[in-house]
Amino acid sequence: MGDAYEVCVVVPTFNEAENVRALVEGVKANLAGAALLFVDDSSPDGTSEVIAEIAKSEPWVRLKSRAGKMGIGSAYQDGFREAIAALSPAIVVEMDADLQHPPSVLPRLVGAVRAGADVAVGSRYVPGGGAEGWGLWRRAVSRGANAYARAALRLSVKDVTSGFRAYTRAAAEEVATAGLPARGFEFQVAALKALKTNTKTVEVPYTFTPRRSGKSKLGLGDMARFFVAVLRLAF
C-alpha cells in the first residue's frame, strides 16, 4: 500500500456484501482517481471476501479487516489512520456502505474542501437537503437527536449526526488521533466538537435515500447510547 491518492473514501462495513459492488461502481463513476478503503468488522455474511475479490481487479479498492464488531466510530478512526499512513490523501471522505449516501454527491463534498473548507458535511437539514422514505417517527428521532446534540455541544452545524463528510487531511488526522470516546454513532458529533475551534465547516445539501439491501444498523439501544454519550461529551 505505497500509492498516494488525492482523495480516499473510508467506508465501515458490517454485513454489507449485497451493497459493496454497487458502491464501488458508484465511487468509480463519480470520483475517478480516488481510493476506496473499506473497514470491515469480520462480517459473517462474507463482506470482506467480496471486497477482496473486487480489489483483485480494482487496485484502488483497499480492505482493512478488524477482529470483531467494534463500533462505527472506532472503524472511522482506524480507517482515517490507515488512509493517512498508507495513501497520503489530501482529502478524506467518510460515507456509509448501504447507498443511502448517494455517490453522486461526492464531487460536491470534495469540491467544497478543495474550495477552502476544512470539513464539508452532507446535510439533510439545509435548503435542498432531505430524506426519502422516512415515517414520522424516524423524522422525529433524527431531528430530536440533532437538536439535542447541537444544544448540548453548542454546535452550529444543522446536521450534526450526518455520517457523509469530507475532511482535509489535517482535520481527518486530528479526528483520528484525538482519542475520541466515541465507538458508536456519537462519533459524528464528537468529531465536530473536536474540530469546533479554528475550523471552517460548510454544509452541502443532499437527499438521504432508502437502503437498497440489508437491514438498518440503528436500533433503540443505539439511540439510547447516543443520548448518554452526547451528555458525557458535554462535560
| DSSP line for 74-100 | HHHHHHHHHHHHHH--SEEEE--SSS-
CATH code, domain carrying 226:
3.90.550.10
Residues 6+ apart with CB under 8 A from 37: 8, 9, 10, 11, 62, 63, 64, 79, 82, 83, 87
- State the pLDDT at residue 197: 86
**Summary mean pLDDT of the chain:** 92
Query: 54 is written with which cell numbers?
Result: 473486487
List pLDDT tens digits, range 177-193: 988 877 788 899 999 99
**What does the pLDDT look like over 147-174, one tens digit per residue?**
999 999 999 999 999 999 999 999 999 9
* Helices 47-57 & 20-30 angle (0-180, nearest 10): 40
Q: What is the pLDDT of residue 105?
A: 98
Residue % of the chain over a pLDDT of 90: 78
Does residue 80 belong to any structural domain of this protein? yes
Q: Which of 137, 135, 126, 115 is nearest to 160 (CA)?
A: 126
Please report, for residues 91, 97, 221, the alpha-carbon distance to residue 212 in angstroms, rounded to integers and kept in the order given. Answer: 28, 10, 23
User: With left for phi above 0 and alpha for psi between -120 and 50, is residue 28 left, alpha or beta?
Assistant: alpha
Q: Is residue 14 situated within a structural domain?
A: yes
Q: How confident is the model at residue 219 (pLDDT cuts 50, 70, 90)?
A: low
| Residue 112, pLDDT score | 98
- Encode pLDDT of 115-155 as tens digits: 999 999 999 999 999 999 888 988 998 999 999 999 999 99
Going by the DSSP 8-state scheme, the letter that residue 43 receives in this structure is -
Mean pLDDT in residue range 25-49: 97
If pLDDT is split at 50, 70 and 90, which confidence band does 1 have? very low
What percent of the chain lies above the pLDDT cut of 70?
95
Residue type, 57: S
Within a domain: 1: no
Give the other-Cβ count within 10 Å of 115's Cβ: 9
Domain span holding position 153: 7-233
Taking phi first (over 0 means left), then psi (-120 to 50 degrees means alpha), and beta for anything else, what does residue 100 get? alpha
- Given this model, what pLDDT does residue 152 score? 95
Task: Let me know if residue 69 belongs to a domain.
Answer: yes
Name the 3-class secondary structure at 119. strand
pTM for this predicted structure: 0.93
In a domain, 2, yes or no: no
Q: Name the domain count of the chain.
A: 1
